[in-house]
A = this chain, B = another copy of it.
Amino acid sequence: MLFAEQAVTSSDKTFFQLRKAIVEGEIAPGTKLSETELSTKYGVSRAVIREAINRLETCHLVERKANIGARVVSLSPAGLIELYQVREALEGMAARLAAKHMSDAEISDLRALLNQHFEKVQDGQSYYQEAGDLDFHYRIIQGSKNQHLIAMLINGLYHLVRMYRVQLGMAGPRVTTAFDEHRQIVNAIANRDGELAEMLMRRHILYSKNNIEHKLLSLSKERDKA
């Protein structure tokens, strides 16, 4: 991955493993995270499990209560909407700042990335939604050069968004249209038009929200039938 986080300590490794397991649904939403159980399962002491759980909590992937324990967050339509509302504001802002602060080199790199994605999409690889889209957003977030913004989005919301997507099985009819949106955003950034970049990004995320919301709705309808 491009912006690699590398595990130096044992807690890091356990944290990454747990995060992956949660995001990818291996550990279901709402599951209680037992410290002793996890410590035997991952072959580490409870201390590192506790540390990992703490970090999962700061990602908003689990909720902890004193003397009771931690549970994986449960997803809900309301939660999704709240999440995307915040994302819209923050990533819109990121796009605006990126138009101001990204270097020409970074922008042309971003363009190159987009072209790569385009080829892969044409090859019919569903790769796009998985890593590509995320890389794109990653780069713009980083391009904002605002540390608070970066921390909030990357450490905070980002993995939660992934979790929703994975859990709802987003493969994506939106792939091609999303691609065009990405291209427009890059153009706006290249033109140093922050206002437009923000607006396009907000709209992009709004569409994305509508799309995923629709999926969520049809899923719940199926559930009602059964």
Contacts and interface: CB of A to CB of B under 8 A. Distances in A.
A21 interface: no
B148 A60 contact: yes
A86 B157 CA distance: 15
A80 to B, nearest CB: 11
The contact size tier of chain A is: 20 to 34
A44 to B, nearest CB: 15
Contact of A82 (B57, B86, B147): B147
A170 to B, nearest CB: 20
A158 B217 CA distance: 35
A152 to B, nearest CB: 6
A195 interface: no
A146 B85 contact: yes
B152 A156 contact: yes
